[in-house]
Structure 1
Amino acid sequence: MEGGIRPKRQSILIGQRSLDVYGEPEQGPKFVVWVISVFRRWGFFIAEWPWTAIVICLIVSAVSMVKIVLTPQRNEITGYTPYGARAKDEFLEYQNFFSSQGLPVAPYLFVVAKDNGSMIRPEYMRETVKILNYAMNNITMLNRVTGQNESFNQFCDSFCQLNEPIRQFYNGYVILTEPGAEPTSRIKLSYPISSVFGRTFSLQPNFFGVELYNDTEDAVPRLLGGPDIVEAVINNGTDEVPELPRVTNMKSVKMLTMQFRAEHKPGWTDADVKEWEMKMTEVFERKYHSDIVKVYAYSQSYVEEEMVRGGIIMIPYLVVGFAIMCVCSIVSVMTRALYMHQENWYKTALAIMACLTPLLACSTALAGMFVCGIRFASILCVIPFLVLSIGVDSSYLMIHEWQRVTDHMRETPRKKDSVGHRMSEVLSEVGPAILISCLTNVFADLVGSFTSSPEITLLCTGNMLSMCMAFVYQMTFYAGLMSIVGRYEIGGDIVEKNRMEISIAENRVNIARHHRPLTRQPSKFHEATKPVISKFMRDYVEFMTTPIVYVGVFLIYVAYLIFSVYGITIINISLTATKLFATDSPLLELDQYRIKYQVPSYSMATVFVSNPGNLSEPHRLHRINQLVEDMEHLNGTWGQNWGPVGTKFFMRDYANFHETFSDPEDDFVEPEEDTEASTTPVVEVTRFNEDELKFFLKWPEYDYWAGFVKLRNGTHEGEEHLDRFFFTTGFHGEALSDWNQRGKMLHEWRRVVDNYR
């Protein structure tokens, strides 16, 4: 080669040596030359003030750690929903309807038998009613307006009767199973519709995992005399209760569900609501003890808390990972130092700090985010793993280059040799490479922060800032530490050199002043491993440059891409919130019960209708009725609708109310004895009068519909108009246990709704 190139070891790094190799160090790209000069000057500066840089970094990191520890984690249940997703708009509509003044209140309690048997056994029903009474009367929330602690029974307005089917079923069951009780048409305990003393109610929202008697089995007790016939007549070996009278068409019920929904009151804060929901969880999952049933609590607050706990449990893994990384770092760094004949205990400190530096930078970046008001989401707990795995490479580059510079200085000593000179050589060589690596990660995360979902935005933003801080800490904290270690190494070299000179003088060896520099003899380890490593690298390069090898590698890569694209097209996507919980979370058990018992039997669609207009106009009323009917006629491979029996639509009860009171001379007609309680006759809604609506919602028999309807004030005093409402309808099907099938069902719901936009 021409041009007087110095015989230095080639480097894949873009730094000072790259310019030296091309022989024109001062005529390279101006920007590159400028960047290298900045790093060279910084090397001299940090070598002069190492302790200052280290102390400042440690103080900032300590304050940052305090900020992180004191910042509570806060997750959003919709955080993984992509930007622009329709589900976000739907959830916002749900929140606006139920939380006009704050966070909606909607905890659930799920009760299952510990022996996995039926929940409609008397003692199990009695225990469930006891749980219901305790939840409604004993768990209180502070009303900051009145200064009183109020129970659910006291602050509930519109949805107080959601759990009455459980209580009414139990009361009817007790009456029918009393000794000497006679069958009566006034009490019918059937699934899905029951009635007690003329009050009809649906069991579907509360009774799950229902197994019914078939027609043959159910006919036998009726023919033999009704509810006093015991299982001794029929014994089919299932898990129904053999000693109990047949008073219902249900053979077994696996799970009972209670919902405690309420509208947000002015005297509450969001923190009060979360505290009350978590109190419900604390009482029934941790403090309540029963020998026969197990209670699971579910609420948005509890889900968010479990997501937080799922993030916290990663901390032990971070500690273990850090320890493993430190061991590997020490082994690799000391092995390299031994090979370069530069082993000392200071290298151990450098190896450990190489792993610690990214974590210090990560803590500073996260604390800065929290100071700016960004919430502490559980997904941010992943960032230390990412920064540790990426940021540690920069430290290894600096260690490697420091050892190369040290070896070069030993071979060709210079009077200007100093810590500052060596550090400037190190940073001018590897600084640009570290900067390029940092910018690559920053730009990649910058793109990610503007795409995907809020949680991924947080992750990318946190990772981007952490990588920036890792670069800063690398150039300050770690460079300062290397300067201090380098000062001890240079001092050790001087002491050893003096010792060698004294030894030579004592042995009366005649050496001229311009003698050949004293150099260390290569270690036995270096002499033994160098030929092996050199031969291996030559053979490897020769093998990889063989045409058949690189063509084969290319073909394998193409095949890999094709296989990957095909795999993406057939992949089964199943991202659920349960994947964010700890493995011991009770919500995982509850989710299994829900998927097994609740979802296949009653998957409820909630349809919100905003700005319905004047429903006194027949065409508007007909359009609303048609929407409900279209939802009731939906079916597919995933399942089918329950029909009117599974629908809660206030207009149908309003039609009954209107017919009953439109003619005051009409007498109330008792239902016929043989009327099946499992079917609900649908009254056609043909007329609507807004003036009657407020009376309908206050009528004791229909007051629970007030929670389904929102009214707005009119222009005149006392005038109210229908502003919005919602209705629910249920679907069932064994295929609904599969997440993808539920997705298909959701698309069908949206297709129907879109026809009425």
Structure 2
Amino acid sequence: MQIERIEMIALLFYAKYETDNVTNIITEWEQAVYNYLAEGSNEVDFKELEINVLGDKILMKEITRGGLSLLPLMVVGMILLVVFLFICVMISTPVNRLKLSMNKPLLVIGIILSPILALTTTFGLVGFLDIPIYPIHFVIPFLVIAIGVDDAFLILHSWNRKYKEMQYYSTTKKIDIMPTIIGKVLKDIGPSITITSMTNYLAFIIGSFFSTPAIQSFCYTASCSIFLDFLFQLSLFTSILVIAEKNEILCGNVKSIELMEVEPERGLCIIKNEKTKQKEEVITNLLKQYCYLLTSNIFRCIVFVSVAIYLGFSIWGIFQIQPLINSQQIIPSDSLLQRTDRLFEKYTWKEYEILNVYVNNPPDISTSNGLQELNKIISKFETMPQAIGSASTLFFLDQYKVYIGFLNVLTFFGGFQIGTDTNSLPQFLKDFPVYNNAVKWHKENDSIVVDKFSFMTAYCNSTTWSDRANLMEKWREVADNLTQYNVSIYSENAPIFEGILNLKYNTVQSTLISLIAMIIVCIFFVSSMPCVLLSTVFGITSISVGLFGFLTILDLKLDLISNIAILVCIGFSVDYTAHFCYHYQKATDVISQNSEETHRQVLINRIHHAFKSVGWPMIQAGLSTVICMCPVIFTTDHIPQVFAKIIFLVVGLGMIHGLLILPMIMAVFPDSWYIKKIKPSDALTNDPQKVSKSQYLLQFDYDESLKSAVISNNKFEANSCSDNIPDILKTPTADPSISENDQEDSGVASDHS
């Protein structure tokens, strides 16, 4: 038979591992061969041949090089984020808004410093504990920086809203009460940031239970960074925030304070300059109009129909997902190994997939019956579908028979025969050391007893990783039927096959566990069970369904990388749902219906109150995440692109749910879902912790020059406000039974029912 053409010739080089230095020698040799090809020297020396190389040592080096290529993109992302943070600080601060002062750069440094310290501390611990770092770890800085600044937005926004509580104090008094103000900030916003930080932390921890060792290490490292960032935000950033404001006050830069206006219907009217008042009126009116739109029945119907279409399309997309795992996903797109890997997939694995079979309790091969049993074991693997057959089997006994036959020829003229027993096995292994690892034996009563052995055979027609994974399942079925011989199988790609076979099951299992964990966390911090159900069961489930369903649109397959990215984003999605639900529930305690208001007006006020508390920080958090991850879209490598696409998707879906869908749904349900029922006996008690609060109250304590002011029970109307501040401060007598703890945390006049 004449050979028509040759597509590929594979040369395999093996090294005997005698000392640890062999690994270094192999690494240098592989690198030298790769550099030889990368420089194009082969095109001069071998003009008619196209030469490619693949080795595990050079593969790890190329993967690491791909991870390091993300560092310039991370620097660009950091610069863009710092610019965005500076703009947010400039337009958000109530002191010298849009004016450059020393406290603003200090605040930006404080915001970005917490995630950076969390990252450096975490990777320092990783190095100290000698934990291996994989290329996927290079994605962690993007995630931690993008997610880590979200809490700072909430803290800073709450601080700005409470800054009015010390507007009329003297410089000394302002500095003295700053600990009280920052305490109120943490009381107001602490549960929200704790919920989101814990859910992000748990998402990584849960992901580590259903992944490969590399992904597990990634999850542990990321979870540690998220936890440390949470601690730094609560301790370091809040300290820097107070220091920055103190310096601003001591330097005499507090010349004008632009306060957030308190609505007259809440019991207080503070007159500002007309320019500031007009700006805030425009913003307030736009936000009120949006809240009015959310309570419109027609708009609700349109949104609900859109949500139904979105969920239906997402569910359809879930059924279209195909699991796909291959080594090209982890190799840098510009690496020479990409072509080599494609050649292996096209030719080597299709025509020659090697299986190692280990017989740990073999029959006695020194007897004829034992040899028959042995041949049956080998035949079961050689006659499987896709098996090449005996021509591909490599077994020491076949070579041993030839070896014995050759010795018998040499000893024939001496008048004796060696026979086919195993007593010549030690000498055979010395002459053929390649089989030393294929057979284990011991000497017993001057006889050689074989304890265990292995053989190799090959299979074909497995063109994809999924086909090869299914083939491994068939190998296991054959091995399970040979329990008396304790047969086990081994393939060098078995961990990947295992991941493919369990990918869908692990994805569903980890997603459900993540959802349950999110519910448990929310239950601890949100007292209203309907809020928990809406923010987790509906909000997170809807976002998760969208994430899986839109994978097809994003041209992504279900693999280990996309699976862990989705798990991370499920925890990340809580940021956009839990914040609004928590503050809307607080708004139901603050704002109740009176005889002069319609139910729709009350709903509008509650949604408006919740948006004022967390609306702008939610938008800032989403934009900062997108801005930080934007440079990643310019890379062509698979791992960072998957994370970038899925994070962009979860930010979009999260903001739509948190700013549109959830506010609309929560306004549909009755007040009894959110408001705690108060016993009649509690309503009559004088205990300030149990008093039934039905009046609007806002209390400020000023310094002696401006006296103290308490405004309660809606004594002032909007048209009664005067341009003269001292006139406003002339107030009725306060109700001494109402303690400070009964006031609404955010500084807005409160109404509890």
TM-score (norm 1): 0.54
Residue 755 of structure 1 corresponds to: 481
Residue 58 of structure 2 corresponds to: 302
Task: Give distance in 1, aligned partners of 2:278 and 2:111.
Answer: 25
Residue 587 of structure 1 corresponds to: 337
Residues 673-692 of structure 1 aligned to structure 2 (within 5 Å) = 688-692=420-424
Deviation for aligned residue 1:325: 2.3
Query: What is the aligned counterpart of 1:265 among 6, 13, 18?
Result: 18
Residue 641 of structure 1 corresponds to: 387
Residue 738 of structure 2 corresponds to: none
Local SS of the residue matching 1:253: coil
Deviation for aligned residue 1:522: 4.5
Task: Give distance in 2, aligned partners of 1:461 and 1:415.
Answer: 46
Task: Give distance in 2, aligned partners of 1:351 and 1:341.
Answer: 15
Deviation for aligned residue 1:269: 6.1
Residue 228 of structure 1 corresponds to: none
Deviation for aligned residue 1:431: 3.0
Deviation for aligned residue 1:470: 0.6
Q: Is the 8 A contact 1:340 1:407 kept in 2?
A: no
Residue 323 of structure 1 corresponds to: 79
Local SS of the residue matching 1:604: strand
Task: Give distance in 1, aligned partners of 2:65 and 2:322.
Answer: 27
Query: What is the aligned counterpart of 2:146 among 353, 377, 389?
Result: 389
Residue 727 of structure 1 corresponds to: 455
Q: Residues 11-66 of structure 1: CA distance to partner in whole angstroms, max 9, x if unpaired?
A: xxxxxxxxxxxxxxxxxxxxxxxxxxxxxxxxxxxxxxxxxxxxxxxxxxxxxxxx
Residues 391-406 of structure 1 aligned to structure 2 (within 5 Å) = 391-406=148-163
More helix by share: 2
Task: Give distance in 2, aligned partners of 1:534 and 1:556.
Answer: 27
Task: Report the AA paired with residue 530 of structure 1.
Answer: I
Task: Report the AA paired with residue 329 of structure 2.
Answer: K
Query: What is the aligned counterpart of 1:632 among 347, 366, 382?
Result: 382
Deviation for aligned residue 1:382: 1.7
Task: Give distance in 2, aligned partners of 1:597 and 1:494.
Answer: 73
Residue 623 of structure 2 corresponds to: none
Task: Give distance in 2, aligned partners of 1:538 and 1:267.
Answer: 69
Local SS of the residue matching 2:366: coil
Q: Is the 8 A contact 1:341 1:522 kept in 2?
A: no
Deviation for aligned residue 1:341: 4.3
Alpha-carbon spacing, 1:556–1:408, altered in 2? closer, same or farther (3 Å): farther
Superposed CA RMSD: 3.6
Residue 438 of structure 2 corresponds to: 709
Aligned length: 461
Residues 597-612 of structure 1 aligned to structure 2 (within 5 Å) = 597-612=347-362
Residue 488 of structure 1 corresponds to: 247
Alpha-carbon spacing, 1:448–1:527, altered in 2? closer, same or farther (3 Å): closer
Deviation for aligned residue 1:381: 1.7
Local SS of the residue matching 1:722: strand
Gaps of 5+ in 1: 1-217, 219-248, 499-515, 668-686
Q: Residues 576-626 of structure 1: CA distance to partner in whole angstroms, max 9, x if unpaired?
A: 232112111121111112222322232222323334253113333222212
Alpha-carbon spacing, 1:487–1:664, altered in 2? closer, same or farther (3 Å): closer
Alpha-carbon spacing, 1:520–1:486, altered in 2? closer, same or farther (3 Å): farther
Task: Report the AA paired with residue 52 of structure 2.
Answer: Y
Deviation for aligned residue 1:396: 0.6
Task: Give distance in 2, aligned partners of 1:421 and 1:545.
Answer: 46
Query: What is the aligned counterpart of 1:431 among 180, 185, 190?
Result: 190
Task: Give distance in 2, aligned partners of 1:370 and 1:491.
Answer: 43
Task: Give distance in 1, aligned partners of 2:287 and 2:37.
Answer: 68
Deviation for aligned residue 1:395: 0.9
Deviation for aligned residue 1:391: 1.3
Task: Give distance in 2, aligned partners of 1:454 and 1:544.
Answer: 52
Alpha-carbon spacing, 1:417–1:625, altered in 2? closer, same or farther (3 Å): same
Local SS of the residue matching 2:15: coil
Deviation for aligned residue 1:546: 5.9
Task: Report the AA paired with residue 644 of structure 1.
Answer: S
Alpha-carbon spacing, 1:732–1:460, altered in 2? closer, same or farther (3 Å): closer
Task: Give distance in 2, aligned partners of 1:445 and 1:384.
Answer: 14
Alpha-carbon spacing, 1:748–1:494, altered in 2? closer, same or farther (3 Å): closer
Deviation for aligned residue 1:472: 2.1
Gaps of 5+ in 2: 258-268, 414-418, 484-753
Q: Is the 8 A contact 2:91 2:98 kept in 1?
A: no
Alpha-carbon spacing, 1:452–1:528, altered in 2? closer, same or farther (3 Å): same
1:362 correspondence with 2:119:
yes
Deviation for aligned residue 1:443: 3.0
Q: Is the 8 A contact 1:606 1:728 kept in 2?
A: yes
Task: Report the AA paired with residue 694 of structure 1.
Answer: P
Q: Is the 8 A contact 1:650 1:708 kept in 2?
A: no
Query: What is the aligned counterpart of 2:368 among 618, 628, 642?
Result: 618
Deviation for aligned residue 1:540: 3.3
Task: Report the AA paired with residue 475 of structure 1.
Answer: L
Task: Give distance in 1, aligned partners of 2:334 and 2:198.
Answer: 40
Residue 137 of structure 2 corresponds to: 380
Alpha-carbon spacing, 1:711–1:446, altered in 2? closer, same or farther (3 Å): closer
Q: Percent identity?
A: 24
Alpha-carbon spacing, 1:705–1:625, altered in 2? closer, same or farther (3 Å): farther
Residue 467 of structure 2 corresponds to: 741
Task: Report the AA paired with residue 421 of structure 2.
Answer: N
Task: Give distance in 2, aligned partners of 1:517 and 1:559.
Answer: 50
Alpha-carbon spacing, 1:540–1:354, altered in 2? closer, same or farther (3 Å): farther
Task: Report the AA paired with residue 577 of structure 1.
Answer: S
Residue 694 of structure 1 corresponds to: 426
Task: Report the AA paired with residue 309 of structure 1.
Answer: R
Residue 736 of structure 2 corresponds to: none
Task: Report the AA paired with residue 56 of structure 2.
Answer: Q
Task: Give distance in 1, aligned partners of 2:53 and 2:94.
Answer: 60
Alpha-carbon spacing, 1:364–1:339, altered in 2? closer, same or farther (3 Å): same
Residues 414-425 of structure 1 aligned to structure 2 (within 5 Å) = 416-418=173-175, 419-425=178-184
Residue 708 of structure 2 corresponds to: none
Task: Give distance in 1, aligned partners of 2:306 and 2:394.
Answer: 63
More strand by share: 1
Task: Give distance in 2, aligned partners of 1:721 and 1:709.
Answer: 14
Alpha-carbon spacing, 1:451–1:716, altered in 2? closer, same or farther (3 Å): same
Q: Is the 8 A contact 1:411 1:517 kept in 2?
A: no
Task: Give distance in 2, aligned partners of 1:484 and 1:284.
Answer: 58
Task: Give distance in 1, aligned partners of 2:319 and 2:341.
Answer: 32
Alpha-carbon spacing, 1:271–1:455, altered in 2? closer, same or farther (3 Å): same
Task: Give distance in 2, aligned partners of 1:695 and 1:517.
Answer: 101
Local SS of the residue matching 1:690: coil
Q: Is the 8 A contact 2:382 2:388 kept in 1?
A: yes
Query: What is the aligned counterpart of 2:217 among 445, 458, 478?
Result: 458
Deviating beyond 6 angstroms after TM superposition, the runs of 4 or more aligned structure 1 residues are 411-415, 663-667
Task: Report the AA paired with residue 425 of structure 2.
Answer: L
